[in-house]
Amino acid sequence: MGNVRCGALAIGLFALALFATAGAPVGAAEVSVAEAKASTCGELISAPQNRSPGVVQRLRPPEGSEFLLVALKLKVAWGEKDKTVRIPADKIALVDAKGAEHKAVGKMVAEGHFQCYQVALYLRKPYNKKEFDKPHIFNAVFLVSKGATAFTLKVGDIEHKLTVAKRGKTLGPADFAAFTVKGAKFVAEATGNESLGYKKPKLPKTIRAAFGKLLAVTVEITPKRANAERGGNFYNNTWNFGLAFGKGGFAQAVGQEHGNFGFADNVSSSSHPEADGKWKPSTCIVYFPVPEDTTEFTLTYYMVPVAKGKVSP
């Protein structure tokens, strides 16, 4: 695909951190690396933000290069007067054995796919002291020379040596949970309320398929591991789901049942493992507009096929 071009993208205030030597000071806060991993891969998968076209972006490095995925877990010893830790993107670089600097081309987000962002540091001191001991996650992707194995990660004035592990499978979004279609049926409509704002009246609304029919799909989700950067939870929302059918047909999820509130355009959900570390399954009803002759389909999650289903007669 040629060179990966990030362009001038806005830097989101995501909780990323990057430091190297144990106890290295940044202001008054002391930061240490609890765990560091570096691995290479030859292709990155990136789902478009709106996901509506039903396409998957596959990014490949130029000839002679490969992607280096850097994953760190960091601890911060916050001082009494500390509030934040910040390092701009231009102070973060990967230096190879020949002394050449490589800037990050993006990051691997917690859900398991690549985003083309400028990678900066922004850490805010937790309000709850119980959160102080939780590690901060840093995931960045660099474009490096193929076959190189030794690098120095530089963040401001701090340096950390990295040794590249063997190439392994990069976790994708669908690796974080198992999905099962428990049922699917056509419905005439879905009903809910349209909010007019905080403490304002709500208007009843009815959702119908503009073309074809509205298919209500009951999905069971059983997380396998957490996909949130610090919370230890599995996070999901309605718009992660799609439906593939026929010869190239695709429908983006248009809404989901939201408890007693009925239909909602997008529902965010979060689940945690039990005390024994096991995850309990949960179910949700997701709506898709599909052709009226649809009988079989494939459920997708971040554009990855995850389960087969059939429409009930």
pLDDT in tens, 190-212: 998 876 666 677 788 899 999 99
- Percentage of the chain surpassing pLDDT 70? 84
Residue 9 placed within a domain: no
Is 246 contained in some domain? yes
Identify the band that residue 157 occupies on the pLDDT scale cut at 50, 70 and 90. low
Q: How far apart are CA 307 and CA 313, in angstroms?
A: 19
Classify residue 198 as exposed, middle or buried by CB count within 10 Å of its CB (0-12, 13-18, 19+): exposed
Among 307, 308, 300, residue whose Cα is nearest residue 47:
300
What pLDDT band is residue 4 in, cutting at 50, 70 and 90?
A: very low
Write down which residue in 153, 169, 185 finishes a domain. Answer: 169
Cα separation, 70 vs 269, whole angstroms: 28
Q: How far apart are the first and last CA of the chain?
A: 45
| Structural domain contains residue 221 | yes
Question: Can you give the residue range of the structural domain that contains 181?
Answer: 174-310
Average pLDDT rounded to a whole number, residues 274-282: 91
Type of residue at 187 = V
Residues 190 and 287 in one domain: yes
Q: Where are the alpha helices (DSSP H) in 85-230?
A: none
Q: What six digits make up the tokens of 294?
A: 């649809």
Give me the count of residues in the chain. 313
pLDDT over 60 (residue 300): yes
How confident is the prediction for the chain on average, in pLDDT?
Answer: 81
Which two three-digit tokens encode residue 162?
Answer: 């990295």
Q: Would the pTM count as exceeding 0.85? A: no
For 223-259, write each residue's pLDDT tens digit: 998 887 666 889 899 989 999 999 999 999 999 998 8
- Count of domains forming the chain: 2
